[in-house]
Structure 1
Amino acid sequence: MQDSFQAKTALEVAGKTYQIFKLDAVANSARLPFSLKILLENLLRFEDGVTVTRDDIQALADWDPQAEPNKEIQYRPARVLMQDFTGVPAVVDLAAMRDAMKALGGDPDKINPLQPAELVIDHSVQVDNYGSDAAFGLNAELEFSRNKERYQFLKWGQSAFDNFKVVPPDTGIVHQVNVEYLARVIFGREVDGELQAYPDTLVGTDSHTTMVNGMGVLGWGVGGIEAEASMLGQPVSMLIPKVVGVKLTGQLPEGATATDLVLTIVELLRKHGVVGKFVEFYGPAVKTLPMGDRSTIANMGPEYGATCGLFPIDQETLDYLRLTGRSEEQVALVEAYAKAQGMFDADGSFEADYSEQLELDISTVVPSLAGPKRPQDRVALTAIKPSFDAALKALNSERGAASKPVTTKIDGQDVTLSDGAIVIAAITSCTNTSNPNVMLGAGLVAKKAVARGLSVPPWVKTSLGPGSMVVTKYLEDAGLMEPLKQLGFHVVGYGCTTCIGNSGPLREEVSKAIAEGDLTAVSVLSGNRNFEGRVHAEVRMNYLASPPLVVAYAIAGRMDIDPYNDPLTTDADGQPVYLKDIWPSQAEVAETVNQFLGQDDFTQSYADVFAGDARWQGLQAPAGKVFDWDADSTYVQEPPYFQGMQLEPAPVAPIGNARCLALLGDSVTTDHISPAGNIKADGPAGRYLIEHGVAPADFNSYGSRRGNHEVMMRGTFANIRLRNKMAPGTEGGVTLHQPSGEQMSIYDAAMRYQADAVPAIVIAGKEYGSGSSRDWAAKGPRLLGVRAVIAESYERIHRTNLVCMGILPLQFLDGESAESLGLTGYETFAISNLDEGHAKQVTVTATDAEGNAKTFQARVRIDTPNEVEYYQHGGILQYVLRKLAA
């Protein structure tokens, strides 16, 4: 490594000497935002004259806040974080790469993580059972029985790969485990015989990796394929971004929570536009925000569209590290390093040069929800009833529906369900379960409600999915778990549940009533995502809310109320009970947190975090460096990406005679594209599983079968809420095959095109691929034969994932769209002038059935030189494999 700026120096901390790379060796570094200081240190430490040059370092130090991003740098994060839904296919790919390396005559052991890679199994538990003390154990048993093959595979990976650790199931949610245990803030690690100190940085295979930004740790979500490349030593190629500074002033008012604050920030930043930009929070109000609130705000970075949402390292960071049981040696290192590098905000006065600046007086925040289908659609609690009524009217008008109330019997009681009935109330998701203030607040609401003799209507499916065992411990210590249970909020599992669609079945009587009345049922959840079809297939409207509000709405059982003026319900004496009657004050919450949250909660919960319970310890896993694939497995199969691969890639060919698989509108999310949630028995994936001897009761979810490409490609574009304009009047993964005009599933059409050697494309509107960083949203289309996507705009992670899978992302020129160009999707398409992937613009020719040709230009969204190479090789994994084999 080189050291052009002579930045290498020593830092003495608690009797140890660390090698560090001083930022003040480079002129102008003091004015940089914290996030760019972290990137600058990374370049200094990895300067090699090839991937990182002196000019790269100087360009970052001389960063012009107002300039459009145009300078590419190669950034190497310190570690990779995965959850099991995205982690299993990543490990599957690494295992397949070992086989491919062997076939190419190379050493399979070269396929190995070169830096710490940690995977938390948290996405597989489902809420099959709820409302009882037995729910957690029963759900855990079902989880293990359904996922045995996947878990055996991950256990194999833990022993087969170096630098790879697995946090077993039923421990916690990946982002909460990251904040409470895994995050280092500053690494102290031996590198090439030297003890080095450097910032903890990471990429994660889940978009909410940004949650750790609350601790001053720079990290963001990437696709699984990018994460694999990082694990294999490939740098993340990126343009030096714009940085938006958000100044927080004031103090949260009585009645408002961190959830209300983050929903306000999501609305503000979505309106401003921060996609592809870094966001940093600063200002006097930051000092008033505990780490739980900071983590809540950072967690929802993907919802406000930013790459990251970073907070500074300050005294709160140090206090939180101590609270969570990090060693005094680690705390001392964090403090000494951050202060030495100008990364410590001692008094809340730090203000950098920013590309854009916004200000939010947090005293203006009011209790809010977001919905019914996007997290940025905040609605003040005072306006929720008219907002819901309007949204319901619009939805029913769009569907052409005429719903009717249905009376049914539940637990021997006659109940009537109608539009607006809340059928799911879930305290779930890392966003809020990591925050002791809102979790204890929910417990206090439950305590006050139980004291009034209140209960939850029988049609509401209640659940509590704590982000870690720490939450259960402090709720129990505070005496609040019991009232939560009395309202049905028993612990159902330690993992992502309702927020990712693992909400489990509704009561049979409720499902039948929804179907019979064609009802618009509602969920209220403390999560970060509420996209259409995500939470539950039978629930059309979904609202994000703080955990205390989830409890309140569960008691009400209906969405169409005004919580300020209408009673939630009546008590045992028939007296009306209003929200204000059971809402705790900020002082009550603060007193409870101070009294019942302590270091022992964390040290005991994380004492042996990698060991797992008896189920995990008793799990038998295969041995050996190369995985022994089981041809009969319906969970784990060797993917076909490397079949027939040669050491040299073929030249990039133009795309001709292509057919459109789907013509889509705006805001098509990765949930619409990637298989997620339940597998329908009458769909292509369900038929495949039945043919392979799997009963519908044992289908499990798409997420749990991400290691089997045969299932996943059949579920791509199969979301029940996908609307393909090529098949008007339909919902779901339906298209019209061309030129036959036959209506069929998108999968079946894709297979017919492949059999006829016809390439496929997808056409879409704005914000294509927004939402979670699902690698299968790119892998699935690639396996369906999609060669290009033409959209009006892209979400950052998905565009990158398309390139990394060898799919060409094209963008309509400004002001143009499929509609303005008169495209129907029934044409044949030709894409020319690719120039080996170097082209900035290409020519697209669409020819209709009568032979009339329409030609237009489209921007090529291969944004960096590295991405050009990935595209030339057919994808990033092929690129890495060829480099390692050579």
Structure 2
Amino acid sequence: MSVQTQTLHVGDNDFEVCDTSHVEGAEALPHSLRILLENVLRNVDDADARELYAKRIVDAGTQGVQGGEIEYMPARVLLQDFTGVPVFVDLAVMREAARDLGADPARINPQIPLDLVIDHSVIADAACCADALEKNMDMEFKRNGERYRFLKWAQSSFQNVRIVPPGSGICHQINVERFARGVMTKATDAGELAYFDTVVGTDSHTTTANGIGVLSWGVGGIEAEAAALGQPITTLVPQVVGVHLTGELRDGVSAMDAALTFAQMLRAKGVVGKFVECFGDGVATLSATQRACIANMTPEYGCTCTLFPVDDRTLEYLLLTGRDKEQVALVEAYAKAQGMWNDGASRVYSEVLELNLSEVECSLAGPSRPHDRFARNDARSRFNAICADRNLDMDKRVAVNFMGSKYELTHGAIAIAAVTSCTTATDPAMMLACGLVAKHARERGLLAKPWVKRVMAPGSHATQLMLERAGLAQPLAELGFATCGFGCMSCIGNSGPVWPEMHEIAGDIELTSVLSGNRNFDGRISPDVSQNFLCAPASVVAYAMAGTMDFDFETQPLGTDGDGNDVFLRDIWPSDAEIAALMDEFVTAELFDAGAEGLYSGTQAWQELEAPEGDIFAWDEGSTYVRRAPYFDGMGKVVEGFAPISGARVLANLGDFITTDHISPAGSIASDSPAAKYLAERGVDPVMFNTYGSRRGNHEVMARGGFANIKLKNLLAEGKSGGWTRDFETGEITSIFDASQSYAAAGVPLVVLAGKMYGSGSSRDWAAKAPLLLGVRAVIAESFERIHRSNLVGMGILPLQFHEGENAETLGLDGTETFVIEPVDFGTGEPSMPNPREVNVSASKQDGETVKFHAIVRVDTPTEGAYMAHGGILQYVLRQLA
């Protein structure tokens, strides 16, 4: 299939466009598949592969079914700091390896634009006080100085990279406010080429940008790193579900309420692995940021993305947030030329769901799942039903003292009320509503309850500036919602400790939290909080004044005013007209320009941070946050191919549905873990252990956290849950890490046995990196989750699949065997399929019996074959660039 182009005239400029209209059936495709079609036509050089991928997209899209695999090349990559640090560690080590291979290390750079925002590290240790922001920023730099020095070096050393220092905002909000262009351009021999702005990011809520017509979704670190280095992402052509929007949101109903309604409706339908697109007259009634709020909630209902088309609302937002008129004119012209404009044309969807926006109501979701939505008016009865299901005694009371006053609390007392996360901070209207509730409350003399820790984390400086200019920051602070940081905070569990008095009673009654976030899973918000509820920011402020979930806003007053009159929520709830008036006055292009000042220069603390210079990073051997990764140790210029596996032992014998959460290090570092022992030996105080997420740049810590999830069931651990196994070198039950070190010392390779859907759940790069560092050469499973299988290949780990009807149990394997796997030839390093596609595996038991079986080599594309031949994707890319 040939690539046809057309010239797009925009103002005084001409742009070449890869034309999709000549492809038969393209006009019927959903917007998202039209974007994928343009992508493969433009990026796939091999004519046969290009034709195959285009046919797969059109056939699947016009029939409303899932299609085969294609190779997709996004235009940009978005990182947050937890997942971004290991990416830059890999790039830094790759530069060293390039130098050792005789190449110029400065050639190792991202091949497409890469943006990183440091937003995941700030913790609300201090809150409800005027200097909370200053205190939290100070502690953030104390905890993370090593990581930040490394990122500051990366900021100045790599090309095609922008790093936003800490204290600026949330990556997804900054992405839609500053990074997203709608249409990308680049100079080519044929002229200036225009193409879709598309993004993958190492955070599942990268989907926020779908609200402004930018196809985007979250991926694991390995896939993001591959894309940054110019390698395509392999993906299936998805089914696309259409959501037909009619009506408009009623007065007092927010985008958060719509997002929770989406979550409930689409989770019930089942859209995992699918794309979702919104269309219909109701789309035009939603602002760009209301759409972004809905799109942000995408991971909570399980689909890959929730795309909105481009229309006048999109263009207005792009102009408002700083794109010049020429760029916005290009977005309009390109969207219309490529069928991305909201024109009401009929498109094929696998199915269509109906949502009348006028039926959306003020909502909450909880106590632990984002899609468990209920009406705010039903909140008290819903909470009491939850308590009844848990057999809680609602007559129980516990006494606490705050500021010299005694209070009696029972189940439902709110320990944390947080205005937080990219879900709601992106939408100015919701933040203004939040401030107006505070303003009206203070005018009537109302205060928040003292036992509630109140967290305010704006998504960008523009949001904070808007609240200040509108006169709303002060009343929020008077209610305890003083800004305490710019970052994800409570939504990712960075609320800091609850008040000490609440911590003391957490075991006696069930404490609750309310937050304007996107996730409320058990244990995520605080270990002291049993029930977590999502709602709009204005409702968060209201609940901080109520102090409990056992509250009915319709019948119970929040307090009394100076004249002794009862004040109900309806008395202080702002109208849409009041919000709109503030929007018109204060939400201006100048606001966003002022909010973006110093975006890349950072605070004084960042500017004073000393960082190394030069193309090669100067590793600090004493660092416990950033260490030189060993992925290229011993690598030469010549491709040696995949080494045989012989005499291998089983590190873990696992069952069905082992998730990446079971495999990848996550959460806090337990005091009795191998990672804790490593840190303690290096003089790190336990209070500074931090989390695995913050230490992802240290492979030593992360390897020690592999397979360490306390819920892991390893059949070799004799009933002991967590990161334990039998070390067949000693015969003892020991930690998985210590066993791996024993095997490494003896030169013994390792394999993992598993059941169905190994690696399900979110794509996590350390779910593949940690096993590699532990010495795992192959995983033999009944089936694999698609993305995790590709991540294993990316790290050079061989995925083998039992034949249908076979598994470890049917073959009589218990993990005590010694394995030999037939050699697999992946060619000379150029893309090629594995040979053979099935291999003989023999497992020798301790009594001398040998079990032999055939396994399928799950290396599914020629490009993946090249990765395996080179030892992994990083080695492949390095040899290509060097």
TM exceeding 0.5: yes
Residue among 175, 191, 194 paired with 1:194: 191
Counterpart position of 1:325: 322
1:367–1:53 Cα change, 3 Å: same
Distance 2:719 2:388 in 1: 19
The answer to whether structure 1 residue 651 and structure 2 residue 646 are counterparts is: no
Instruction: Kindly provide the amino acid, as one letter, of the partner of residue 345 in structure 1.
Output: N
Paired AA for residue 2 in structure 2: S
1-side partners of 2:244 and 2:355: how far apart? Answer: 6
Shift, 1:306, TM fit: 1.9
Q: What does 1:461-472 align with in structure 2 at a 5 Å threshold?
A: 461-472=453-464
| Distance in 2 separating the partners of 1:336 and 1:420 | 53
Equivalent residue for 2:588? 598
Residue in 2 that maps onto 1:345: 342
SS at match of 1:543: strand
| Counterpart in the other structure of 2:828 | none
> Whole-Å Cα distance in 1 between the matches of residues 383 and 853 of structure 2?
42
Deviation per CA, 1:551-586: give whole Å up to 9, x if none: 222223323445555555677788765544443333
Change (3 A) 1:413 1:729: farther
Q: Which moved further from structure 2: 751-760 or 642-651?
A: 751-760
Name the counterpart of 1:252.
249
Aligned match of 1:485: 477
Is 2:257 aligned against 1:269? no
Q: Is the 8 A contact 2:811 2:851 kept in 1?
A: no
In structure 2, C-alpha distance between the alignment counterparts of 1:388 and 1:767, rounded to whole Å: 36
Paired residue for 1:513? 505
The corresponding residue for 1:686 is 676
Give the direction of change, closer, same or farther, for the CA distance of 1:490–1:71 in structure 2 (3 Å limit).
Answer: same
Alpha-carbon offset, residue 319 of structure 1: 0.7
Q: In 1, are the aligned partners of 2:650 and 2:750 still within 8 Å (CA)?
A: yes
Q: Deviations over 1:512-556 (max 9, x none)?
A: 3325x3x54332221122233322233343222221222222223
Aligned to 2:830: none
The match for 2:750 among 752, 759, 762 is 759
> What is residue 162 of structure 1 aligned with on the other side?
159
CA contact (8 A) 1:160 1:624 kept: yes
**Cα distance in structure 2, aligned partners of 1:416 and 1:728:** 47
Aligned to 1:4: 2
User: What is the SS of the residue equivalent to 1:23?
Assistant: coil
Kindly provide the CA deviation profile for residues 628-677 of structure 1, in whole angstroms up to 9, marking residues without a partner as x. Answer: 2121111111112222234324436568764364757769564x543344
Shift of 1:281: 1.2
Distance of aligned partners of 1:488 and 1:94 in 2 relative to their CA distance in 1, 3 Å threshold: same
Change (3 A) 1:702 1:418: farther
Describe how 1:689-838 pairs up with structure 2 within 5 A. Answer: 689-718=679-708, 733-737=722-726, 745-752=735-742, 754-755=744-745, 757=748, 759-761=750-752, 763=754, 768-771=759-762, 773-787=763-777, 797-807=787-797
SS at match of 1:320: helix
Distance 1:571 1:97, change over 3 A: same
TM-score (norm 2): 0.89
What is the CA-CA distance between 1:762 and the residue it aligns to? Answer: 6.5
Mapped partners of 1:200, 1:172: distance in 2 = 22
Q: Give SS of 2:283's match.
A: helix
CA 1:89–1:826 in structure 2 vs 1: closer, same or farther (change >3 Å)? Answer: same
Structure 1 range deviating more: 178-187 or 477-486: 477-486
Q: 1:463 to 1:238 in 2, by over 3 A?
A: same
1:474-499 superposed Cα distances (whole Å, 9 cap, x missing partner)? 11222222221122111111111111
Q: Distance in 1 between matches of 2:333 and 2:708?
A: 52
Cα separation, 1, equivalents of 2:143 and 2:33: 44
Q: Give the secondary structure class of the aligned counterpart of 1:366.
A: coil
Q: What TM-score, normalized by structure 1, do the two folds share?
A: 0.88
CA separation of 1:738 and 1:637: change in aligned 2, threshold 3 A: closer
Question: Compared with structure 1, are the counterparts of its residues 345 and 703 closer, same or farther at alpha carbon in structure 2 (3 Å cutoff)?
Answer: same
Q: Report the alpha carbon displacement of residue 210 of structure 1 after superposing the two structures with TM.
A: 1.2
- Where in structure 2 are the equivalents of 1:156-235 lying within 5 Å? 156-192=153-189, 194-235=191-232
CA distance in 2, matches of 1:815, 1:788: 20
The residue identity in structure 2 corresponding to 1:592 is L
Q: How many Å apart are 1:42 and its aligned residue?
A: 2.3
Aligned to 2:487: 495
Alignment RMSD: 3.8
After superposition, residues 232-311 of structure 1 pair within 5 angstroms as: 232-311=229-308
In structure 2, relative to structure 1, the CA distance for the partners of 1:150 and 1:762 (3 Å cut) is farther
Moved more, 212-221 or 793-802: 793-802
1:363 paired with 2:354, answer: no
Provide the C-alpha distance between the structure 1 equivalents of 2:418 and 2:787, rounded to a whole number of angstroms. Answer: 28
Distance 1:592 1:146, change over 3 A: same
CA contact (8 A) 1:770 1:794 kept: no
> Which residue does the alignment assign to 1:377?
372
**Aligned partner (choices 446, 465, 470) of residue 454 of structure 1:** 446
- Aligned partners of 1:478, 1:177: CA distance in 2, in Å? 21
How far off its partner does 1:312 sit? 0.5
1:32 aligns to what? 29
**Per the alignment, do residues 763 and 49 of structure 1 end up closer, same or farther by CA in structure 2, a change over 3 Å counting?**
closer
Q: Residues of 1 paired with 2:166 and 2:814: CA distance?
A: 44
Match of 1:878 in 2: 875
Structure 2 unaligned blocks of 5 or more: 826-833
* Paired amino acid for 1:651: F
**CA 1:778–1:59 in 2, change beyond 3 Å: closer, same or farther?**
closer
CA 1:795–1:555 in 2, change beyond 3 Å: closer, same or farther? farther
* Range with bigger deviation, 650-659 or 153-162: 650-659
**Aligned-residue offset at 1:313:** 0.9
Change (3 A) 1:75 1:758: closer
Query: Secondary structure, in 3 states, of the residue corresponding to 1:306?
Result: coil
The corresponding residue for 1:83 is: 80
**Equivalent residue of 1:372, what SS?**
coil
Q: 1:480 to 1:759 in 2, by over 3 A?
A: same
Match of 2:831 in 1: none
Do 2:56 and 2:67's aligned partners in 1 also have CA atoms closer than 8 Å?
Answer: no
The change in CA–CA distance for 1:52 and 1:859 in structure 2 (over 3 A counts) is: closer
Give aligned pairs, total. 871
- Structure 2 Cα separation of the partners of residues 828 and 548 of structure 1: 60
Provide the secondary structure at the position in 1 that maps to 2:597.
Answer: coil
Q: Is the 8 A contact 1:81 1:202 kept in 2?
A: yes
- Deviation, 1:239, is 2.9
Which residue of the other structure, out of 624, 631, 646, is the alignment partner of 1:634? 624
Q: Could you tell me which of 675, 678, 694 is aligned with 2:665?
A: 675
Deviations 1:229-268 (A, max 9, x none): 2222212223333222221122223443211211221222
- Could you tell me how far apart the structure 2 residues matched to 1:357 and 1:863 are? 33
Q: Distance in 2 between matches of 1:437 and 1:464?
A: 16
Match of 2:524 among 519, 534, 551: 534
CA contact (8 A) 2:710 2:723 kept: no
Q: Rate the CA distance shift 1:204–1:405 in 2: closer, same or farther, 3 A.
A: same
Q: Which runs of 5+ in 1 are unaligned?
A: none
The 1:723/1:486 distance shift into structure 2, 3 A limit, reads farther
Secondary structure of 2:497 counterpart:
coil
Q: 2:18 aligns with which of 21, 26, 33?
A: 21
Determine if contact 1:502/1:535 at 8 Å carries over to the other structure: yes
Equivalences for 1:134-149 in 2 at 5 Å?
A: 134-149=131-146
Moved more, 192-201 or 868-877: 868-877
The amino acid across from 2:221 in the alignment is G
Which string of whole-angstrom CA distances, capped at 9 and with x for unpartnered residues, describes residues 426-480 of structure 1? 1111111101122122222222333343322333221111110111111122222
Q: How much has 1:86 moved relative to structure 2?
A: 1.0
**Match of 2:608?**
618
Instruction: Kindly provide the amino acid, as one letter, of the partner of residue 630 in structure 1.
Output: D
